[in-house]
Amino acid sequence: MIEFRDPSPWTGRSDPEDGDLALRMHHLAGRADAPVALIGFACDAGVRRNKGNPGAAEGPAAIRASLANLAAPGDPRGFHDAGDLTLTGEDPGPGQQALAEHLAPLLARYGRALVLGGGHETAWGSWQGLRRALPGARIGIVNIDAHLDIRAIGPAGPSSGTPFHQIREADPEGFDYAVLGLAEEGNTEALRSRARDWGVAIIEDHALQITADAGFAVIDAISARNDAIYLTIDLDVLPAAQAPGVSAPAARGMPLHVVEALVARVLASGKVRLADIVELCPPRDQNDRTARTAALIARRLLTAS
């Protein structure tokens, strides 16, 4: 069953004694000049099907809670919170379609949309929404993730492990996919070999331990040859110490400062129309550490021009 929930009012700490510049993210929600829209996809049907640890359906609420009290940047503009799609049941398909239907008009109205997942099945809804909003556009996909998520669709049906396989099936000619932060040990040779056959650009986590430099050429190239970029960030790319609250924590992972530098480089292309942050699993989090990490990235995606 799919339920659409209007956004709850944003609340948080206010410091009026410090004047007009003491703004936090919760103050930016709903401002009239908002160039960016936010929508939650409260779903973990894909993770369940992918034999993972459920809990991603609680992701949007946890990210919003950690985001609310972060300080706003200087000279901030607002963002529009479009609410949450909540999905119950075993099949993520109807929820992914509903996400696409909600996203397309948001993308027509706002310069950028941010989706808070959900497992990585979020991506199949996200991409379809962008495709509807931009028919005929060349869409490049930048996935910051330990995993390829190009599994073949098994008897159980599509899952959080299959979204980029589904996208390629829908648009084989236009499929242009880069994965940054891949953990070799987290992807079988069947998947790595499929990625090679499909021409997926991959930068492994080993190359992204100290700086993000190894990822910049891939980002610049995919940005240059596409009209729009869909940026998808799977929190399990981070080390388990930084992001314990995911279905599949990474023993190695890559550091947050590298993820932030990669995100900044993708944003610098000026072509990011759609982004999502996926795989937060609040029941497995520790003192909101992963939610707070996700909130830092969300703040950047909501406020970057």
Residues lying near Mn ion in the complex (CB under 5 A): 120, 145-147, 149, 234, 236
Nearer to ligand NIG, 67 or 235 (CB): 235
147 annotated as belonging to a binding site for a ligand: yes
**Residues in contact with 67: Cβ distance below 8 Å, sequence separation at least 6, in sequence order:** 25, 26, 295, 298, 299, 302
Q: By CB under 6 A, tell whether 245 contacts ligand NIG.
A: no
Nearer to Mn ion, 145 or 276 (CB): 145
81 annotated as belonging to a binding site for a ligand: no
Given candidates 122, 247, 269, 290, which one binds ligand NIG under the rule CB under 6 A?
247
Given candidates 76, 117, 140, 161, which one binds ligand NIG under the rule CB under 6 A?
161
d(CA 220, CA 262): 11
Nearest Cα to 209, choosing from 260, 244, 179, 253?
Answer: 253
Nearer to ligand NIG, 223 or 293 (CB): 293
Q: By CB under 6 A, tell whether 149 contacts ligand NIG.
A: yes
Q: By CB under 6 A, tell whether 120 contacts ligand NIG.
A: yes
Q: By CB under 6 A, tell whether 118 contacts ligand NIG.
A: no
Q: By CB under 6 A, tell whether 40 contacts ligand NIG.
A: no
Known binding residues for Mn(2+) are 120, 145, 147, 149, 234, 236
